[in-house]
Amino acid sequence: MAQEIVMSAAGLKAVQEELEYLKTVRRKELAEEIKEARSHGDLSENSEYDEAKNTQGLVENRITELEQMVKNARVIDESELSVDSVSVGTHVTIQLEDEDPEEYDIVGRTEADPLSGKISDESPVGHALLGKAVGEEADVLLPSGHTVVYKVLSITHSKN
């Protein structure tokens, strides 16, 4: 059985849009590139053909991956989302002792973008925060082997 993929409605829409683009636009572009490269003759030494075929393989793999995401998606119903504890779909403000507060949206792994403040529920910080309430602390084991402690300052609905 395939693993369920938790995502927001916006995340699912983005996946569906990428899938549609790859199937309707990019496939046609690649077919034209392959056709053009074939017209150059000998395929055994045709780098344009090889490159187009390699790209086609990557695109087909991505299409398969996106189709599986859509098939296994579980969209968070934000109207039923509780802000009593941290979960996927919540926006949290957390703080390390003697540091400035940090804000993050807790998202499913397919939507994670730490540079945009979106951390996965499967990341070390995201996983440690799951189920925590305001005022509680989460111990986070870092890849370095050190443990840091974040305090949950606030939980709201995600802003995305």
Domains of the chain: 5-75 (1.10.287.180), 82-157 (3.10.50.30)
Average pLDDT of 75-95?
90
Q: What's the helix, strand, coil split of the chain in %, to 5?
A: 45, 25, 30
pLDDT at 63: 97
pLDDT at 42 over 80: no
Stated pTM of the model: 0.77
CA angle 114, 19, 67 (to 5 degrees): 90
Helices (H), the chain: 9-21, 27-38, 47-72, 124-129
